[in-house]
Amino acid sequence: MIKSCVSSDFPPRLLIAVGGNAIHPEGIKGTPEEQMTVAAEAAQSLLPILELEPQLVLTHGNGPGVGKTLLRQALARDRVTPMSLDICVANTQGVTAYLLMQAFENALRKVGNSRHVIGLVTQVEVAPNDPAFDRPTKPIGYFYSEDEAKSLRSELGWTMVEDSGRGWRQVVSSPEPQHICDISLIDALASRGAIVIAGGGGGIPVVRDELGIRRGIEAVIDKDLTSQHMANVLGIEHMMILTGVRKVALNFGTEEEEKLDRVSVSEMRGHQRDGHFAAGSMGPKVEAAVRFIERGGKRAIIANLEQALPALLGDAGTQIVADG
């Protein structure tokens, strides 16, 4: 029934960006069993799209995961040499892609679908002189109390900020994505019908010298901006950002909260100027959605993971479209 009802309404090519907090929600310890369960639940929410979308690329966040990796390293730093931040991103990129890849294929096989899912370790070039290196803003990892944040700042030298009323988090440099390495491979695999998981956690941040030699650099690229850049370069016209909320809201968390259904790019830019979207939560998602439309996309959707299918069909989430 699903196939006959909605397959004709699917775009020919789609990029889905799954938020780190959607696949690693608050309140779990992050045990292997919990992570596998959450991945399986995500696969069930996405299953109709996994089955029917002709060419599908997925990205994912890793803020909770990379933050936990850093904390593990801090706790064991006297016995195990810590990894650099770019290697931590690569580590969590591989782990998350593995969990999603396995969960997606398991869900597909249970309904008799033999479609393949592949996870790619993805490097993303950034500019070595990006001003973000002098101004850490990207929140990662756990939420802490103010006293815990002060202790971590003093003991480990972390930059800690209060995050949207939810607690204190570590922030790191987050340069703009400039080039997604091996994007032609992503394109080729998606064109052949494989579901491609790439650019996890915004991609592994690297810089390249005048000889073309790459090296990793300490940063975490914003997943939503990498997703937007990837979608535009691939000529994808529909992008969906899945997170923990059902819709984008103005005056979020107040008595004047107003959820947005269908909104134009110029309206959304106006809401940004009015300061409605916090930098540590909805701000990057809205910016990525607006940029995507401004640079050639037709529609950007911000929605809850559990409502992925109705959001794609235009019946849920916040639908952001071009003016006119």
Catalytic residues: 20-21, 138, 223, 285
In whole angstroms, how large is the CA radius of gyration of the chain?
19
DSSP for 228-274, written as a single string:
HHHHHHTT--EEEEEESSSS-EETTTSTT-EE-SEEEHHHHHHHHHT
Sequence-ordered alpha helix ranges (H) in 111-163: 146-156
DSSP E strands in 99-237: the ranges are 117-119, 123-125, 138-144, 159-162, 168-172, 179-180, 195-197, 204-208, 214-216
Would you call 116 exposed, middle or buried from its count of C-beta atoms within 10 A (0-12, 13-18, 19+)?
A: middle
Q: At what angle do helices 223-233 and 283-294 cross, to 10 degrees?
A: 10
Would you call 119 exposed, middle or buried from its count of C-beta atoms within 10 A (0-12, 13-18, 19+)?
A: buried
- Which run of H or E residues covers position 116? none
